[in-house]
């Protein structure tokens, strides 16, 4: 018998997912996935929703040195996205070898291995692009993300205490890194 998820989908549905480079036309689907996470309020460092035009502009301006991929299936279209963005937002070459990473999977498709599959593709592309390291910041109360990243080989290299203000409380920020070198 085919194993099914709690809502009745076949677990094997992850086989139908294709990973490809993002396109500006993906803006609506991406903002939908991202805004659901932002509105949930407990996962992301982002707290302000993105409109479709804002997301489209972000995609169009995304650095050619980074990696920005989506996962899609035939019936629903885009169900996840992952960006590996150049680390520095200031004018310097000091961080040219480094990226920072964000992964967002539509809640109905979490724990199907999509994030892991996307990371395998993105890491290979990042290595080809000459990148050596990924550093990412995670809210300490996002244990799912922490476990996900640790499963990908990230290690915790620091904690910034109380660095994230969430409403009227402060949450620690966990810094994780992964070497892309063999």
Residues at the contact surface with ligand COA, assessed by CB under 6 A: 37, 43-44, 102-105, 110-116, 138, 142, 144-145, 147-148, 151
What's the Rg (C-alpha) of the chain? 16
**Which one, 23 or 111, has the nearer CB to ligand COA?**
111
Closest distance to ligand COA from the beta carbon of 51 (Å): 19
- Return the residue matching tokens 């019936």: 75
Nearer to ligand COA, 89 or 92 (CB): 89
CA distances from 165 to 16, 106, 149 (A): 39, 25, 22
Strands of 77-86's sheet in order across: 18-21, 67-73, 77-86, 98-105, 133-139, 169-179, 155-166
Nearer residue to ligand COA within complex by CB, 113 or 129 = 113
SS3 145: helix
In the complex, minimum distance from the CB of residue 39 to ligand COA, in angstroms, rounded to a whole number: 12
Between 21 and 147, CB nearer to ligand COA: 147
Say if CB 99 and CB 131 are below 8 A apart.
yes
Q: Which residues contact 113 (CB under 8 A, 6 or more apart)?
A: 14
Q: C-beta of 80: minimal distance to ligand COA in Å?
A: 7
From the list 32, 41, 117, the residue with the least C-alpha distance to 78 is 32
Closest to ligand COA by CB, 59 or 105: 105
Q: How far is the CB of 147 from ligand COA (least distance, A)?
A: 4
CB nearest ligand COA: which residue?
115
Q: Residue 149 CB, nearest distance to ligand COA (Å)?
A: 7
């Amino acid at each position: 018998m085919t194993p099914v998820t709690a809502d009745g989908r076949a677990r094997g549905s992850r086989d139908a997912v294709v990973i490809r480079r993002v396109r500006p036309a993906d803006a609506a689907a991406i903002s939908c996935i991202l805004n659901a996470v932002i509105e949930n309020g407990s996962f992301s460092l982002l707290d302000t929703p993105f409109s479709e035009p804002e997301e489209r502009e972000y995609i169009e301006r995304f650095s050619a040195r980074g990696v920005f991929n989506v996962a899609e299936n035939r019936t629903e279209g885009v169900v996840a996205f992952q960006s590996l963005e150049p680390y520095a937002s200031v004018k310097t070459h000091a961080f040219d070898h480094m990226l920072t990473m964000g992964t967002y999977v539509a809640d109905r498709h979490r724990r199907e291995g999509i994030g892991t599959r996307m990371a395998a593709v993105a890491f290979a592309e990042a290595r080809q692009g000459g990148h050596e390291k990924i550093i990412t910041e995670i809210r300490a109360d996002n244990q799912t993300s922490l476990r996900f990243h640790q499963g990908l080989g990230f290690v915790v290299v620091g904690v910034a205490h109380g660095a994230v203000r969430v409403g009227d409380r402060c949450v620690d920020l966990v810094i994780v890194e992964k070497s892309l070198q063999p």
